[in-house]
Amino acid sequence: MANLRKLCRKLDRLLTELGAGVVAGPYAWPAAYRQRVPQRVTILTTTRLVLTTWTRADAPELHQVHSDPETMRYVRSGRPETLDETESLIDSYMREQSERGWTKWRLADLQGRIVGRAGFGPHGDGRELGYTIRRDMWGKGMATEIASALVDRHRADAVKNEASHLRAYVAVANAPSSRVLEKVGLACVGTLDHDGTPCYLYRLPE
């Protein structure tokens, strides 16, 4: 391990001389090397948005989204999250991606700035659609744009038999999210209690 660290430092110095940054930590890949290797894989793009896989370095920017109480009111535990929790979440997204090839991905604008996250969670032998948009981007049609692309993606995957159904749960009080689901073709099929929160269950007609 000591040799590996030494090697990393040496490589970093070398690459830094060629015009890049500094080492982030003793076990990290040299920063200069990281800058040269594309770490995110693009899943899909829309007119204004790009969905990619995550890297651990994305935790602080996702944390900006997940530390906002208003944004988190109807998602996950219903409260703002700590940076540690966001890091664990990104780890789980990266694990899901490598194990089954789909997860909730990093959502960015075409300049690469984070817009939120969107994608699929497991739901029986199918999937649950999910999205969270950075608060200052609400009301611009971002959720509708990415949800629509994900519905198309799900239909294409389902043809290959990777996933059979698509569902979504929405807190009854979360009217904007219900509206998004209806605009992209999901239908409300009932209500249920989700950890004490009354929710609508939506389904993509099969």
Ligand X SMILES: CC(C)(COP(=O)(O)OP(=O)(O)OC[C@H]1O[C@@H](n2cnc3c(N)ncnc32)[C@H](O)[C@@H]1OP(=O)(O)O)[C@@H](O)C(=O)NCCC(=O)NCCS
Can residue 74 be called a binding residue for ligand X (CB under 6 A)?
yes
Can residue 80 be called a binding residue for ligand X (CB under 6 A)?
no
Can residue 179 be called a binding residue for ligand X (CB under 6 A)?
yes
End-to-end CA distance of the chain: 53
- Rounded Cα–Cα distance for residues 57 and 78 (Å): 24
CB-nearer residue toward ligand X: 71 or 86: 71
Query: What values do phi and psi take at 94, rounded to 5?
Result: -65, -35
What is the SS3 assignment for 126?
A: strand
Tell the smallest beta-carbon distance from residue 133 to ligand X (Å): 4
User: If you search the block for the tokens 């001389």, which residue do you land on?
Assistant: 17
Can residue 71 be called a binding residue for ligand X (CB under 6 A)?
yes
Cα 79 to Cα 67, 69, 75, 96, distances in angstroms: 8, 6, 8, 23
Can residue 133 be called a binding residue for ligand X (CB under 6 A)?
yes
Among residues 38, 122, 139, 198, the one that binds ligand X under rule CB under 6 A: 139
Tell the smallest beta-carbon distance from residue 5 to ligand X (Å): 41
User: Interface with ligand X by CB under 6 A: which residues?
Assistant: 71, 74-75, 131-133, 138-144, 170, 174-177, 179-180
